[in-house]
């Protein structure tokens, strides 16, 4: 979930075309959870499943969305989370309990035919298993997309890669990337299109957005350290909910009047187990590594085997997308689709 800075930051809408030729580090867990929670049956909220009952929503989302990015000339690099910091484990446990409660509500609502409530609860039940992560990596590899393993937080690693110039920008739906120091953050890269408003028969357009950290700091008249303090006051994964009664605008005023951690702590009542300074220092110096991105060659034959033969995806639809990828990138890999298309 992360911190919310939407009240303070005005992103610039961009097109996928503006990112052509760019390498983007994508927060893998954030993106896969999006697909697990959104790609579901419109009536019951059930995720997509294959004939054996295995969830395939994440594979569907990754395949079709990444194909679109590749066709647009964008090079995605997926960054997977490593070991979460000890200070975040309480939040992770709280989220697990929320999922269990949502699962109970979802099951009951389905049994009683309350489908609107069922759909709402269903989106909160998503679980990313080890098997799902491994299959996601397989699918991405077969598409020629590189994956890297972060030592800790994926967003922190993606931000580090962007700072080092290894990638052009970090992509995530969370604002935490800015706290971790990503010079450029792309939002809505993996979800652009139409989205239904909760509880309403209305859809809104979702377009990619670009946020420049330097421009944000200049517009707000603050330093990056002060932005981190704003995030902590509003609430992060380490202190969910933040300080009661303090929203982004009030937090901005506070950090302008009190420019360091000690001054801030004299102005607020801190009731979290983890200390303000510990969270602050984690955002400033998270565990990250310098990485070289290994180029991957697509293997469309294995990609088709994974999606069609193993999980029962429509052969016609998968072949249509792969054909476009072959036409735009060439029939690379150990086993192209020539044998499937009669070429």
Give tens-digit pLDDT for 133-185. Answer: 999 999 999 999 999 999 999 999 999 999 999 999 999 998 999 999 999 99
Q: What is the pLDDT of residue 41?
A: 85
Query: Residue 131: its pLDDT value, please?
Result: 95
Domain boundaries, the chain: 1-216, 221-285
CB 125 within 8 A of CB 102: yes
Bridge partners, 204 (sequence order): 195
Q: At what angle do helices 213-220 and 224-234 cross, to 10 degrees?
A: 80
Which three-class secondary structure state does DSSP give residue 314? Answer: coil
The DSSP bridge partners found for residue 78 are 26, 147
For residue 280, what pLDDT is reported? Answer: 96
Q: Can you tell me which residue has the tokens 């298993």? A: 129
Q: What pLDDT, on the 0 to 100 scale, is given for residue 152?
A: 96
Using one digit for the tens of pLDDT, what is the confidence trace for 300-332?
A: 999 999 999 999 999 999 999 999 999 877 554
Whole-number pLDDT of residue 274: 92
Q: Cα separation of 293 and 16, whole Å?
A: 22
pLDDT at residue 249, rounded to an integer? 94
For 177, the token pair is 């990337």
What pLDDT does 338 receive? 41
Q: Which helix (H) or strand (E) holds 193?
A: strand 193-196
d(CA 205, CA 296): 33
Q: What pLDDT sits at residue 114?
A: 84
Q: Evaluate whether 252 touches 264 at the Cβ level (below 8 Å).
A: no
Residue 205, pLDDT score: 76
Instruction: Give the pLDDT of residue 248.
Output: 94
CATH class of 221-285: mainly alpha
Q: CATH assignment of 1-216? A: 3.40.50.1010
Residue with tokens 């990112």: 19
Residues in the chain where the model's pLDDT stays below 70: 1-3, 192-203, 330-343
């Amino acid at each position: 979930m992360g911190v919310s800075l939407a009240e303070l930051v005005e992103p610039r809408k961009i097109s996928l075309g503006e990112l052509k030729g760019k390498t983007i580090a994508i927060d893998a867990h954030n993106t896969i959870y999006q697909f697990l929670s959104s790609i579901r049956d419109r009536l019951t909220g059930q995720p997509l499943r294959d004939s054996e009952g295995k969830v395939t929503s994440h594979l569907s989302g990754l395949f079709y969305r990444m194909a679109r990015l590749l066709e647009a000339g964008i090079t995605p690099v997926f960054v997977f989370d490593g070991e979460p910091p000890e200070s975040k484990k309480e939040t992770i446990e709280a989220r697990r309990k929320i999922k269990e409660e949502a699962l109970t509500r979802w099951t009951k609502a389905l049994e009683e035919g309350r489908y609107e409530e069922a759909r709402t609860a269903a989106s909160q039940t998503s679980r990313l298993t080890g098997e799902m992560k491994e299959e996601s990596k397989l699918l991405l590899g077969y598409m020629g997309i590189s994956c890297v393993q972060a030592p800790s937080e994926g967003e922190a690693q993606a931000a580090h890669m962007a700072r080092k110039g290894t990638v052009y920008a970090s992509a995530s739906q969370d604002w935490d990337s800015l706290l971790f120091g990503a010079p450029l953050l792309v939002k809505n890269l993996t979800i652009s299109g139409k989205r239904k408003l909760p509880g309403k028969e209305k859809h809104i357009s979702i377009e990619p957005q670009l946020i420049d950290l330097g421009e944000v700091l200049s517009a707000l008249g603050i330093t990056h350290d002060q932005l981190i303090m704003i995030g902590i006051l509003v609430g992060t994964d380490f202190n969910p909910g933040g300080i009661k009664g303090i929203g982004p605008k009030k937090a901005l005023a506070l950090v302008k009047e009190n420019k360091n951690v000690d001054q801030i702590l004299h102005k607020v009542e801190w009731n979290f187990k983890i200390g303000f300074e510990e969270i602050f220092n984690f955002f400033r110096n998270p565990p990250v590594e310098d990485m070289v991105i290994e180029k991957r060659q697509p293997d469309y034959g294995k990609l088709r085997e994974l999606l069609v033969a193993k999980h029962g995806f429509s052969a016609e639809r998968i072949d249509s997308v792969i054909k476009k990828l072959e036409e735009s990138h060439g029939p690379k890999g150990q086993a192209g689709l020539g044998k499937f298309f009669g070429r």
